[in-house]
Structure 1
């Protein structure tokens, strides 16, 4: 019985289709089959379709190790980040995984410390060790041109995520943070608010600078003059939102509305208001940015700017997995995404 099982197993292995079988039945060379598998542009559509049909009929599955050896790259997409907001990283991962579903690609995540003098060397070692097919760079390290140049130097394709134009469309997915925050702040003005405070993001983040610029443009357009201390710095965390809100609410007069540069800090504002016995939105209106799950789950539900981070990450991944030398797939993916205001229950006209 054991001999029969062994013989059956050997027969099954022998029956498994090979690249030679595909080449013979398609009437092409092994090299041509390899080019089809690796999505080379050096083929006409007729040949490509004929080979793909034979692959489908035989159920041929290419050897990923052999493909990786031929391309001198593993089928790995890297996510490199130094982002204090765990929800942002999770949303980016979701977008990437949606793009990679049904492909041979896998995702590897590598956090780094942007303040470390060894960051670039750490990334260099990581890219050399993993032989990644491509990487997505998250803010704020995506704003580092030296890091993008390092990826180029090592022949690793990359896409940068940002809040402004950081690169050419092939290497970029960006959002209109400045315009979106200007719209959100104008909404507060239209509700009758004049004492509007800002909790900005941490220094070194382009998103923080873009969102502050949008806030200031809306305030200036409304003819409102605010003291400098109506702008408090946060760190994109819940705790920093509480701390910044308490500083702002201690002012005389305190703000009637606060725009926080992300939902985590906005939730901290709501918490700080509740601790003081202030009702949102009756005593204080609050707007956040991101439209993460926390925005809809806190009470009252948070008015916020919806940042299309999952579609952005999905598009970035699709830009990366196009074949070497073939930029048509990347060119078809959008590089610019519009954020939009989501109006919920945390905003109301100020009490007279």
Structure 2
């Protein structure tokens, strides 16, 4: 007679032998923060004894949804998108969940239909939406209509704590510019971010508030717009440095644009930081690897992403997850007092 395969253990077996519900077993698998250590250890011991391996596909069929989180973005800052993705992967590692990335064109007339199809076809457990899309309340209404859990990422308060991870960009930039003023700089340029981004608005506000707090004028001739890319950082830096009264320091609204400013300064024979101090924002890998190493504001995006994913994986504990994340000023070698 042909041999029959031994039946694989199921989540029902784990629940029965552990004396808990299937929901509790699922929470153990997905590392819910609401479980006490005794319950977690008891269920994990049964899982190990049985050799149970979760089957997300089978559970997805039973629950009529997938153990999949979606990440939706349209953002020129590729490093930011990558860092957010890595933070989500940190959160879902060793869980039942997977991540699906969905880039979109925010200028497309079919944008809402595109996102609707993505959510319906993937049967997502939840979706994370990055700026500037996250700043549009209409997307939140769409997710509510579709019954899809969501978390918005922003540089300001966009929603309630359950649906938001937020940084304090304005305060971080204000501190950075105040440090430049403390070193003696009085003409501090700004390479601002792209139009339509709340992060650009918040970072410009931090620059303005620092100047006003120290009695310095907000000279519009010291402002140039970029698009969070190296090339636009170069163009903006050139516009500022080629003016009739160039700044002695420049704050660029992200590290990539700051690197562009350093590049054009060197092209003009300027020494950074002796002739020009440069400060960025993000503290991405480029900040520590260019020369001189870049003074910047650390944006806790990977930590924010982990929190966003955990809010969706553990909705029962979403209110306990951190929602507001402080930035941190990171001084390096690209800033110094101005030449007399």
Whether TM-score is above 0.5 comes out as yes
| Greater C-alpha radius of gyration | 1
Match of 2:321 in 1: 333
Q: CA contact under 8 A between 2:152 and 2:163: conserved in structure 1?
A: yes
Equivalent residue for 1:118, pick from 110, 120, 134: 110
1:63 shift after superposition: 2.7
Say if 1:103 and 1:224 are closer, same or farther in 2 by CA, change over 3 A.
same
Q: Which residue of 2 aligns with 1:345?
A: 333
Q: Tell me the equivalent position of 2:269.
A: 277
Answering whether residue 216 of structure 2 is matched by residue 228 of structure 1, we say: no
8 Å Cα contact 2:12-2:22 kept in structure 1 = no
3-state SS of 2:280 partner: strand
Q: Post-superposition shift, 1:228?
A: 1.3
CA separation of 1:24/1:295 partners in 2, compared to 1, >3 Å: closer, same or farther?
closer
- CA, structure 1 residues 314+24, in 2 after alignment: closer, same or farther (shift >3 Å)? closer
Query: Displacement, 1:250?
Result: 1.3
1:261 corresponds to 2:249: no
Map 1:4-153 onto structure 2 (within 5 A). 7=3, 10=4, 13-19=5-11, 21-22=13-14, 25=17, 33-39=21-27, 54-153=46-145
Residue in 2 that maps onto 1:210: 202
Q: Quick one: structure 1 residues 36 and 192, their matched pair in 2 at CA, closer, same or farther if it must change by over 3 Å?
A: same
Q: How far apart, in 2, do the equivalents of 1:259 and 1:200 lie?
A: 8
Taking structure 2 as the reference length, the TM-score comes to 0.92
**Aligned 8 A contact 1:36 1:52 in 2:** no
Structure 1: which 5+ residue stretches go unaligned?
A: none
Secondary structure of the structure 1 residue equivalent to 2:224: strand
Cα distance change of structure 1 residues 21 and 99 upon mapping to structure 2, 3 Å threshold: closer
Whether the aligned pair in 2 keeps the contact of 1:240 and 1:268 (CA below 8 Å) is: yes
Give a deviation string over 1:167-212, Cα, whole Å, max 9, x none: 1111111111001100000011001001111010001100000000
The residue that corresponds to 2:302 in the other structure is 310
Cα 1:216–1:25 change in 2 (3 A) is: closer
Structure 2 unaligned blocks of 5 or more: none
Equivalent in the alignment of 1:239? 231
Whether the 8 Å CA contact 2:208–2:218 is kept in 1: the answer is no
| TM-fit CA distance, 1:118 | 1.1
Q: Compared with structure 1, are the counterparts of its residues 57 and 242 closer, same or farther at alpha carbon in structure 2 (3 Å cutoff)?
A: same
Note if contact 1:162-1:175 (Cα within 8 Å) is conserved in structure 2.
Answer: yes
Give RMSD over aligned pairs.
Answer: 2.3
> Could you state the TM-score of these two structures normalised by the residue count of structure 1?
0.89
Q: Could you tell me how far 1:222 is from its partner in structure 2?
A: 1.1
SS at match of 1:318: helix
CA positional deviation for 1:253: 1.0
